[in-house]
Structure 1
Amino acid sequence: MAETEQPQLYLVTPDRFELSTFKTQLEAVLAAHDVACVRLALASTDAAEIGRAADGLRDMCHARDVALVITDHWRLVRHHGLDGVHLTDGTRSLRDARADLGSDAIVGCYCENSRHAGMNAGEAGADYVAFGPMTPDPLLGKGEVADAELFQWWSQMIEVPVVAEGGLTRETIVSLRDHTDFWAVGREIWASDDPATALADLIA
């Protein structure tokens, strides 16, 4: 039997940051690790602020062949040369986003811990589904976690790639490494003075 392919890294930015400082941090992480995708996840609803951040990170990511997607604001994808969108409203805007962005764009969907929502997203054309949180987090769910059984079932039954996100720990990484396609890592590392080393420690 062939060796199981290891999950890829998917970085999630902080929900607020000073651009020049964060670019330095991100550059260090991208230089130290093989990252597949970065998600711009600003909490701001200011299109100009989000656009400046997107423009500031885009060339850095693309220079390393790393996809850059944005949380929810799919109408900004084309204007800022991004690779796609990560939707947090289930499938409510998925079809509109896909119709606008076309088949080449990445359209992912956060589905909390719901198999039903995940299957609906896959049927609606999502390129990936994300389940979480992996540990209790009121910002990423209703207090219920996405457990290992969900990922095991998904990996056996569904072909759509799956992302694990929200409070990743070494223990969850060990338990899920054969059942997920991506680790979405964000707050786990950005509070550190050395995010690149924090990421290395997390996935060691």
Structure 2
Amino acid sequence: MTEQPNSPQLYLMTPVGATASTVGPLLADVLDRFPVACLRIPGAGTEDDLGRLADLAREIAHARDVAVVIDDHIQLALRHGLDGVHLTDGARSVRYARRELGADAIVGAFCGSSRHDGMNAAEAGADYVSFGPCRATVLGHGEIAELDLFQWWSETIEVPVVAEGSLTPALIGQLAPISDFIALGPEIWSEDDPIEALSLLWR
């Protein structure tokens, strides 16, 4: 998949609730082995824990020319020198985040399975829009982002689109021609060997 023309880039999420002390070596190993375009830190945890994780992730990722964003925490992104934020409320905070972070920051928006929210986020200035989950999962509100949503977006909207949520090798194969980024996280961190799990998904 990754060798095909116009193939999507890998967008990696750190483990939910991970601490800097436990995730550091494994994160560095993953970034050394795989061509990650962007690293995302979920917003779960205390601000102190998130700050320590943000510092570590920034150090590891920036050394490898990988951008780092964090869920929703705009001020934390500013304080810790991250590249931007991933907003989980669709289009609602895009303009505010852009004002706070500046024109050069990455502002992404998770829009579930809603074309309407995605279009509003794009019009508000989001750098990318994320749809998901692509199968039944706890992510989102129970509605699945179907393949035809990604197909329509790729044909209609210029803003890059991210596919995320309960992805499988078969789904990634179907999404590859119609997505700009494939987001993986829980799919690998829940396995005993995340490196092996990622290698099976990202071939």
Q: Which runs of 5+ in 1 are unaligned?
A: none
Q: Which runs of 5+ in 2 are unaligned?
A: none
2:19 touches 2:49 (CA, 8 Å); kept in 1? no
1:14 touches 1:42 (CA, 8 Å); kept in 2? no
Alignment of 1:6-45 (within 5 A): 6-44=7-45
Q: Deviations over 1:59-115 (max 9, x none)?
A: 100000000100000111121010000000112211111011111000000000010
Give the Cα separation in 2 of the matches to 1:70 and 1:101. Answer: 13
Alignment of 1:1-204 (within 5 A): 4-44=5-45, 46-138=46-138, 140-204=139-203
Give the Cα separation in 2 of the matches to 1:74 and 1:42. Answer: 11
How far does residue 203 in structure 1 lie from its aligned partner after superposition?
2.1
How far does residue 134 in structure 1 lie from its aligned partner after superposition?
0.7
Give the Cα separation in 2 of the matches to 1:10 and 1:172. Answer: 16
Aligned residues, how many?
Answer: 200
2:81 aligned counterpart, secondary structure:
coil
Give the Cα separation in 2 of the matches to 1:92 and 1:181. Answer: 23
| RMSD over equivalenced CA pairs, Å | 1.1
How far does residue 186 in structure 1 lie from its aligned partner after superposition?
0.4
Query: Aligned partner of 2:28: which letter?
Result: E
How far does residue 141 in structure 1 lie from its aligned partner after superposition?
1.9
TM-score (normalizing by structure 1): 0.95
2:18 aligned counterpart, secondary structure:
coil
Give the Cα separation in 1 of the matches to 2:141 and 2:26. Answer: 31
Give me the identity figure in percent: 56
Q: Deviations over 1:144-182 (max 9, x none)?
A: 210110000000000000000000111111111100000
How far does residue 4 in structure 1 lie from its aligned partner after superposition?
2.9
Give the Cα separation in 2 of the matches to 1:42 and 1:192. Answer: 21
Query: Aligned partner of 1:123: which letter?
Result: E
Give the Cα separation in 2 of the matches to 1:106 and 1:12. Answer: 15
1:13 touches 1:42 (CA, 8 Å); kept in 2? no
Give the Cα separation in 1 of the matches to 2:84 and 2:124. Answer: 16
2:20 touches 2:53 (CA, 8 Å); kept in 1? yes
Query: Aligned partner of 2:184: which letter?
Result: V
Query: Aligned partner of 1:191: which letter?
Result: S
Query: Aligned partner of 1:16: which letter?
Result: G
Give the Cα separation in 1 of the matches to 2:140 and 2:78. Answer: 29
